[in-house]
Amino acid sequence: MQQLNRVRNILLLLVLHLTLYAQKPEVLIITTGGTIASQTNAPLIEGSELIGAVPDLQRYAKVQVVEVFRTGSSKMTPAHWLRLSHFIDSVAQQQPQLRCIVITHGTDTMEETAFFLNLTHRHSLPIVLTGSMRSSNEVSADGPANLIQAVRVGIHPQAPGKGVLVVLNENISAARDLLKMHNRRVDTFGPDQYGYLGFVSPDTVLFYRSPLRPHTLDTPFDLRQVKELPNVEVVSDYAGFDPEILDYFYGRPNAGLVVSTFAGGRISAGVTEGLRRLTPGGKPIVLASGIKSGWIEGTFSQRRPWITANDLPPNKARILLMLALTQTNDPDKIQEFFHHY
Ligand code: ASP
């Protein structure tokens, strides 16, 4: 009899456990590689292995894993962004039950992928990117904690409507504001001049702010039919810049150019001369400050025929210019995009 009772209790517990699990929010984790998937002196680990090593995730969500690609993010290209964007679009259509998507990604270009998705993910399904600064087999690896925090943020009732989010080291950043600030430390991201949107503690997720610049559902950048993004390059100014460097861009198949400027959007005599020679070519040129905080003023005009990137740094200005070029070549309209997004 005692034996029977014990078996019955175990079965009841099992049913209870399964019922509770079935009620958990569904989360898709998309893996793309990065340090979070790396091991010292060994190849990057596969997505399912990476997620399987964090069983605590099951406490918060029912998790599916898909590896879209596996690469160090310094090797990421616009073709990877497009693939990711098309994949996310099909998932958002086909799996309306999902509560959020979490993307594991290298930190080298996380600023770029996050901003790209922030402007092109035209759904309400929250997206949270995360990664790590330490390899998965390093002492005190930060990947597992970051992954759990990203899932907790993604399923939080206040996550929708804030655009693409990035969670690392207990901080929640808006994709537009993400700024990599340290080569090695686990708190590599920010805070930038705008600060974090919120924080994650062992027991709570706390949001304090919301981004104001339009994102996700409020953008016009529909990439569903786009097979290739316009090619935009970035050139950095410095003391004594040789204008001939810009001549190189005459014959290039690039659709536009971003110049990383000094503070306030100031440029050297070499860049000024090089741009004057390039401008009649008709390709839009954007000036973006290479200084990490503040903004630059100005607007496209006949006298100064260059678009101003406002507070966007050169890598993000490049992304906005690429997206703008999928819609228009008109510099006044492109300038409007920079005032708006
Ligand atoms: N090499 C890594 C990357 O893929 C660096 C990182 O993830 O922190 O970006």
Residues 244 and 113 in one domain: no
For the chain, what is the domain count?
A: 2
Which ligand 1 atom is nearest residue 71's CA?
A: 4
Within a domain: 63: yes
Residues 210 and 257 in one domain: no
Whether the CB of 72 sits within 6 Å of ligand 1: yes
What average pLDDT does the structure give for the chain? 95
Residue 188's pLDDT band (boundaries 50, 70, 90)?
very high
212: containing domain = 2-218
Within a domain: 151: yes
Domain boundary among 189, 218, 247: 218
Kindly report the CATH number assigned to the domain that includes residue 83: 3.40.50.1170
Whether the CB of 159 sits within 6 Å of ligand 1: no
Ligand 1 centroid to residue 267 C-alpha, Å: 32
With helix as H, strand as E and coil as C, how does the chain read? CHHHHHHHHHHHHHHHHHHHHHCCCEEEEEEEECHHHCECCECCCCHHHHHHCCHHHHHCCEEEEEEEEEECHHHCCHHHHHHHHHHHHHHHHHCCCEEEEEEECCCCCHHHHHHHHHHHCCCCCCEEEECCCCCCCCCCCCHHHHHHHHHHHHCCCCCCCCCCEEEECCEEEEHHHCCECCCCCCCCECCCCCCCCEEECCCCEEECCCCCCCCHHHCCCCCCCCCCCCCEEEEECCCCCCCHHHHCCCCCCCCEEEEEECHHHCCCHHHHHHHHHHHHHCCCEEEEECCCCCCCCCCCCCCCCCEECCCCCHHHHHHHHHHHHCCCCCHHHHHHHHHHC
Protein residue closest via CA to atom 7 of ligand 1? 106
Residue 151 pLDDT? 98
Kindly report the CATH number assigned to the domain that includes residue 256: 3.40.50.40
Q: pLDDT tens digits for 51-102?
A: 999 999 999 999 999 999 999 999 999 999 999 999 999 999 999 999 999 9
Residues 196 and 332 in one domain: no
Within a domain: 225: no
Residues 72 and 174 in one domain: yes
Residues 275 and 311 in one domain: yes
Share of the chain above pLDDT 70, in %: 97
Within a domain: 223: no
Residue 17's pLDDT band (boundaries 50, 70, 90)?
low
Has 71 been annotated as catalytic?
Answer: no
Whether the CB of 74 sits within 6 Å of ligand 1: yes
For residue 20, pLDDT beyond 70? no
Residue 282 pLDDT? 84
Residues 129 and 257 in one domain: no
Within a domain: 309: yes
Residues 79 and 185 in one domain: yes
Residues 122 and 161 in one domain: yes
Residues 269 and 298 in one domain: yes
Q: pLDDT tens digits for 260-270?
A: 999 999 999 99
| Mean predicted confidence (pLDDT) in 186-207 | 95
Within a domain: 224: no
Q: pLDDT tens digits for 235-253?
A: 999 999 999 999 998 878 8
For residue 9, pLDDT beyond 90? no
Residues 177 and 256 in one domain: no
| Mean predicted confidence (pLDDT) in 325-331 | 95
Domain boundary among 176, 194, 218: 218
Residues 50 and 171 in one domain: yes
